[in-house]
Amino acid sequence: MWPYVVAALLALFLLRRWHRERQTVPRLSEKHVLITGCDSGFGNRLARQLDARGLRVLAACLTHTGAAQLRAATSNRLHTVLLDVTSSKSIADVTAWVRERVGDQGLWGLVNNAGIAIPSAPNEWLSKEDFVKVLDVNLVGLVEVTLSLLPLVRRARGRVVNVASVMGRVSCFGGGYCISKYGVEAFSDSLRRELRPFGVQVSIIEPGGFQTGMTDPAPLVKGLVRLWERLPAETQAAYGRRYLEKYAKSTALLHRLSSSRLSLVTDAVTHALLSRCPRSRYAAGWDARLIFLPLSYCPAWLSDTILGFFLPVPASGTP
């Protein structure tokens, strides 16, 4: 008896959630959304996707070329602006630019998408500057952009969507990337609780592996080799040349196994922006859902053992 009651209640709960999440907010053509990192990848596709839905997209690009190509592929509703998220002056200029365009209506959506992954390597191969380079873009820049635009988002009782990663759940390689994504998760969690009384929703997108310019193995491997060449002879001997070769091969393999369906991520962002009842977290990609999220709940000894099968063994290490 009780199992049937529980199953019926669960089915009703899932049906109610499905119905609520299908409902979208009204007057899309009046809503402004700012997206960072629109030169390529997720940001570029999302800008075109939201433009096709009739929203007023404010696309922040790093380069003139990226901005021009995006304008050529979209309607005159979409406007581009140059933004370097590591520059406080650039962020202040863009904030003033956004304020002029949204007026008293406020900014409905802020999508923090800009990010970099290089340099990524074993932690011992990296310097403090290597970590700072990634953290400045992926975490500190995201925080400053958000803080600058929050008054406009609060005025619209809108949405903040932060693109993190499943690497913010399970750190699989060294460097600033995974650290930055853990930071994005923490910042987003505290921000969500603080802004809920104002009617502002904060969502986190956790993509798995996707084939974008950021995950292109050629620059990743090239950067890895440069890092290897600057290592002291003692460190090179400890790891061995074969470690470098296997690490580079695993980087290329991960890219080949990654998904090319960027729409899995942009659809999640779109839902977070437009649904009346957005989720706090969205996992995107089969590997995120089936591998990394379950792995994040495993005890450390088990996750370490599983991930250890895929890591090369240093020359002076123990298999």
The domain total for the chain is 1
Residue 33 domain-assigned (yes or no): yes
Residue 59 domain-assigned (yes or no): yes
159-210 pLDDT, tens per residue? 999 999 999 999 999 999 999 999 999 999 999 999 999 999 999 999 999 9
CATH classification of the domain holding 199 = 3.40.50.720
Structure-token pair, residue 130: 């290597």
The phi and psi torsions of 204 (rounded to 5 degrees) equal: -115, 130
Residue 102 domain-assigned (yes or no): yes
Active-site residue (options: 4, 177, 243, 247): 177
* Alpha-carbon gap, residue 142 to 85, rounded angstroms: 7
Whether the pLDDT of residue 6 is over 90: the answer is no
Structure-token pair, residue 17: 């959630």
Least confident range of 143-147, 192-196, 211-215, 265-269: 211-215
Residue 314 domain-assigned (yes or no): no
3-state secondary structure of 171: coil
The phi and psi torsions of 43 (rounded to 5 degrees) equal: -65, -45
| Known catalytic membership, residue 177 | yes
* Alpha-carbon gap, residue 264 to 284, rounded angstroms: 6
Q: What's the whole-model pTM score?
A: 0.91
3-state secondary structure of 53: coil
Cβ-Cβ contacts under 8 Å for 247 (sequence gap 6 or more): 121, 122, 224, 312
Residues spanned by the domain of 124: 23-210+260-285
Residue 231 domain-assigned (yes or no): no
Residue 302 domain-assigned (yes or no): no
Residue 298 domain-assigned (yes or no): no
* Residue 288 pLDDT class (50, 70, 90 cuts): very high
Residue 247 domain-assigned (yes or no): no
Structure-token pair, residue 174: 């060294």
Is there a contact between 52 and 269 (Cβ–Cβ < 8 Å)? no
- Please write down the HEC assignment for all residues of 247-268: HHHHHHHHHHHCECCCHHHHHH
For residue 112, the 8-state DSSP code is E
* Alpha-carbon gap, residue 93 to 210, rounded angstroms: 32
Is there a contact between 182 and 168 (Cβ–Cβ < 8 Å)? yes
